[in-house]
């Protein structure tokens, strides 16, 4: 920080002088009121400051551009903050999706885990749009409630969703992936006290990391869950990190006043040691289960083929490249989907190619299908 902020305090005084005006301008823009201090004036003031006589011109250029970007994004950040603040309180934990057939008919549990910055109520929901060729007024489609829950192939499955605070920009979660994973493990243990059934996990993005953390430990509780796990579906999980995590942590660093936190994002940078160690421990557990019980856990990874565009125009590429999404290829069945990262857990209908592929893989993991396949292999 010493290199960015010299001892003379010039940069600090400039920021302190202008932040009140920028904040008021952002508030007026939010209320759609005319502002005497426009974004154009913000830019002009920064340009004037940049080209004043200074022997630190290169350093000033970097700082000025950074401040310009931050100032220009204030209205957007303010709107985002207001939107998040208006959300209804969420109930975190392990929740059962409506089970019309009743618990007496349940033969196995399927647990879905969402990713970062995801609202548990909406992250699995696909909203039709004109781009998709569907009427904009059509009803949103929830992957769990409207598709899996009504699919006859899963009539004997109990669908559950694990929800947790996954925010990093506003009201951020200050837990590590390890802590969230252990909480998932504890919730699963509590849920299985009354009825111990085979398990299948489905994790989108960071949700896959949470699942791996829950099954990582070699203690009795985690390994017992792993022994009963028939399969895991990873949807764009950054097993080896994501190139976009560094950019996200940079944004979070400069938006600390919104309650941002860089911890989880920094842990998701490409090829970090914590992800490598997690992957090694996880695969070791899978191999130990296979050798001890002669029943492998089926692993399927879906990776995105389409790039992501922020705000529908800013190109950021693949959030999770194929190399990171597929990790130990010797243990993984890899599927490429014609989706961007956010679309991997959203489907419009049962005829959506993504749903057809995912549902087929989930059906193969069903306990009686697994037993049948093993019997055929032995015969």
Find the CATH number of the domain harbouring 341: 3.40.50.1820
Residues 271 and 203 in one domain: yes
CA distance 161 to 195: 17
Closest residue by Cα to residue 198 from 157, 152, 143, 255: 157
- Domain count along the chain: 2
Q: Is residue 239 part of a domain?
A: yes
Closest residue by Cα to residue 321 from 266, 239, 262: 239
**Tens of pLDDT, residues 196-235:** 999 999 999 999 999 999 999 777 888 899 999 999 999 9
% helix / strand / coil in the chain, to the nearest 5? 50, 15, 35
**Region 153-182 average pLDDT:** 88
Residues 13-18: contacts with CB within 8 Å, 24+ apart?
14/49, 15/67, 18/42, 18/45, 18/71
Q: Is residue 152 part of a domain?
A: yes
Q: What is the pLDDT of residue 335?
A: 95
**Region 85-103 average pLDDT:** 71
**Region 7-36 average pLDDT:** 49
Residues 154 and 74 in one domain: no
Helix (H) or strand (E) segment spanning residue 323: helix 322-326
Strand 125-126 versus strand 141-142 pairing type: antiparallel
CA distance 53 to 62: 16
Question: Which residue segment(s) compose the domain that 256 sits in?
Answer: 93-378
Q: Is residue 147 part of a domain?
A: yes
**Region 253-279 average pLDDT:** 80
| Better-predicted residue by pLDDT, 314 or 72 | 314
Residues 75 and 105 in one domain: no
pLDDT tier for residue 17 given thresholds of 50, 70 and 90: low
Query: In this structure, are residues 125 and 112 in contact, taking their beta carbons and an 8 Å threshold?
Result: no
Enter the pTM of the model: 0.75
Q: What is the pLDDT of residue 7?
A: 43
Q: What is the pLDDT of residue 310?
A: 76
Q: Write down the residue that tokens 């961007």 correspond to.
A: 340
Closest residue by Cα to residue 345 from 230, 242, 206: 206
Is residue 378 predicted with pLDDT exceeding 50? no
Query: In this structure, are residues 42 and 72 in contact, taking their beta carbons and an 8 Å threshold?
Result: yes
344: its two tokens: 């991997």
Q: Of the residues 61, 85, 109, which one is the last residue of a structural domain? A: 85
Residues 244 and 331 in one domain: yes
First to last CA, the chain: 67
Q: What is the pLDDT of residue 47?
A: 53
**Farthest CA pair distance, the chain:** 84
Query: In this structure, are residues 19 and 26 in contact, taking their beta carbons and an 8 Å threshold?
Result: no
- Percent of the chain at pLDDT > 70 equals 64
Residues 27 and 161 in one domain: no
Q: Compute the radius of gyration of the chain from its Cα atoms.
A: 24
Q: Is residue 2 part of a domain?
A: no
Indicate the DSSP class of residue 340: -
Is residue 309 predicted with pLDDT exceeding 50? yes
Q: What is the pLDDT of residue 367?
A: 87
Residue 237 backbone phi and psi in degrees, to 5: -80, 130
pLDDT tier for residue 320 given thresholds of 50, 70 and 90: very high
| Better-predicted residue by pLDDT, 25 or 102 | 102
Residues 175 and 79 in one domain: no
Bridge partners for 160 per DSSP: 96, 111
């Amino acid at each position: 920080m010493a290199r960015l902020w010299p001892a003379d305090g010039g940069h600090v005084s400039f920021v302190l002088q202008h932040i009140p005006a920028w904040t008021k301008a952002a508030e007026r823009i939010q209320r759609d009121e005319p502002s005497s201090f426009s974004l154009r004036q913000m830019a002009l003031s920064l340009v004037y400051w940049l080209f004043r006589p200074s022997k630190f011109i290169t350093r000033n250029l970097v700082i000025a551009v950074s401040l310009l970007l931050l100032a220009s994004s204030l209205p957007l950040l303010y709107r985002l903050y207001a939107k998040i603040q208006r959300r209804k309180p969420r109930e975190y934990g392990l929740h059962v999706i409506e089970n019309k057939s009743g618990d007496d008919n349940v033969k196995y549990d399927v647990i879905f885990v969402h990713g970062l910055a995801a609202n548990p109520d909406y992250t699995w929901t696909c909203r039709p749009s004109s781009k998709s060729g569907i009427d904009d007024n059509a009803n949103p489609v929830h992957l769990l409630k409207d598709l899996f829950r009504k699919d006859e192939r899963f009539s004997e499955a109990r669908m559950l969703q694990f929800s947790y605070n996954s925010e990093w920009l506003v009201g951020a979660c200050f837990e590590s992936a390890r802590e969230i994973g252990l909480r998932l493990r504890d919730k699963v243990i509590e849920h299985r006290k009354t009825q111990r059934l085979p398990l299948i996990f489905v994790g989108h993005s960071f949700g896959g990391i949470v699942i791996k953390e829950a099954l990582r430990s070699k203690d009795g509780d985690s390994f017992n869950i792993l022994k009963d796990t028939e399969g895991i579906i990873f949807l764009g999980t950054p097993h080896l990190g994501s190139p976009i995590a560094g950019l996200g942590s940079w944004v979070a660093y400069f938006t600390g006043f919104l309650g941002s936190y860089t911890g989880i994002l920094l842990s998701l940078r490409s090829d970090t040691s914590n992800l490598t160690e997690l992957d090694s421990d996880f695969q070791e557990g899978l191999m130990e289960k296979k050798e001890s019980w002669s029943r492998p856990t089926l692993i399927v990874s879906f990776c995105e083929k389409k790039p992501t565009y922020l705000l529908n125009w800013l190109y950021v590429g693949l959030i999770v490249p194929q190399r990171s999404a597929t990790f130990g290829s010797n243990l993984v069945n890899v599927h490429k989907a014609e989706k961007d990262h956010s679309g991997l857990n959203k489907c419009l209908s049962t005829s959506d190619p993504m749903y057809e592929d995912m549902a087929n893989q989930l059906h193969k993991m069903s306990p009686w299908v697994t037993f049948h396949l093993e019997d055929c292999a032995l015969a």
